[in-house]
Amino acid sequence: MKRFLEMIGGQFVEFIRYAGGISILMGQTLFWIPMPPFRRRQVFEQMAKIGVDSLPIVFLISMFTGMVLALQSAYQMQRFSAEMYIASLVAFSMTRELGPVLTALIVAGRVGASITAELGTMKVTEQIDAMETLATNPIKYLVVPRFLALIVMLPFLTIYSDIVGVLGGYIVGVYKLGISHSMYMKNTWQPLKYKDVFTGLIKSFFFGIIICVVACYEGMTAEGGAEGVGRSTTRCVVMSFILIIASDCFFTALFYFVAR
């Protein structure tokens, strides 16, 4: 019993330490954003790595997700002769949930792991310590450009994912299920409201913050050589996934059940 309580206490203390470290890094990042010098070139480089380089994988996953949604819903809708509502189902699912969540998970796995590995390598090879010795703030130089790039590019990737997912549903609905083009487009755009789109964009904004802060924290606290960098990269992906899903649940409850 004593050993069990010690284990629970140790896990709780570790959670508090981790949450505190994340919060401190977040506060330092927000503090350094408006401080000169403004490294625009680094921000645009990170935007290209995070946004442009992620377009192909976001396209593939969103396209197949939209197609699978249409196929799975058609299996049930055809029993009630309600195929016309497939378009609305795909549109709502992509804009409210699957677009922002899938895009965030893709970016967390692809970009978050890359950020952690890059910063972790710099940490264990003492490059970050060298930057501090040369009076260069590592938060300003390393974290801020990635933070700005993620909170800007993730909403754009989400819009892109929504459009591609709807296109995947359109391909199945029109060319497989025989729904007319005009009917599919009408049932896609008419039921949608601005709230459905903007709630997904708000989610993606906060998902970008989560990915950046977790990835940078894990990278800048890595230790133990190459093995330690690997552990930090794994923790980054796992924690990012958990926090993305948990925050999605929170925002969905807030937008559609509390603030109605």
C-beta separation of 240 from 214 below 8 A: yes
Per-residue pLDDT, 156: 95
Residue 178 DSSP label? -
If you write DSSP's letter for every residue of 82-150 in order, what string do you get?
A: -GGGHHHHHHHHIIIIIHHHHHHHHHIIIIIHHHHHHHHHHHHTTHHHHHHHTT--HIIIIIHHHHHHH
Is the dihedral angle over the CA atoms 116, 118, 122, 125 positive or is it negative? positive
14-51 confidence digits (pLDDT tens): 888 888 999 999 999 999 999 888 888 999 999 999 99
Overall average pLDDT of the 239-245 stretch: 95
pLDDT at 248: 94
pLDDT at position 225 is 84
Rounded CA-CA distance 246/234 in Å is 18
In angstroms, the CA 189 to CA 191 distance is 6
Q: Is the pLDDT confidence value at 229 over 60?
A: yes
* 46-74 per-position pLDDT tens digit: 999 999 999 999 999 999 999 999 988 88
CB 147 within 8 A of CB 33: yes
Q: Are 67 and 165 in contact (CB under 8 A)?
A: no
In whole angstroms, what is the distance from residue 254 CA to residue 252 CA? 5
Cβ–Cβ under 8 Å, residues 41 and 49: no
Which has the higher per-residue pLDDT, 146 or 226? 146
Q: What is the pLDDT of residues 102-160, one digit of tens each?
A: 999 999 999 999 999 999 999 999 899 888 888 888 999 999 999 999 999 999 999 99
Q: Where are the domains of the chain?
A: 2-258
Per-residue burial over 14-41, b = 16 or more CB atoms within 10 Å of its CB, e = otherwise = eeeebeeebeebbebbeebeeeeeeeee
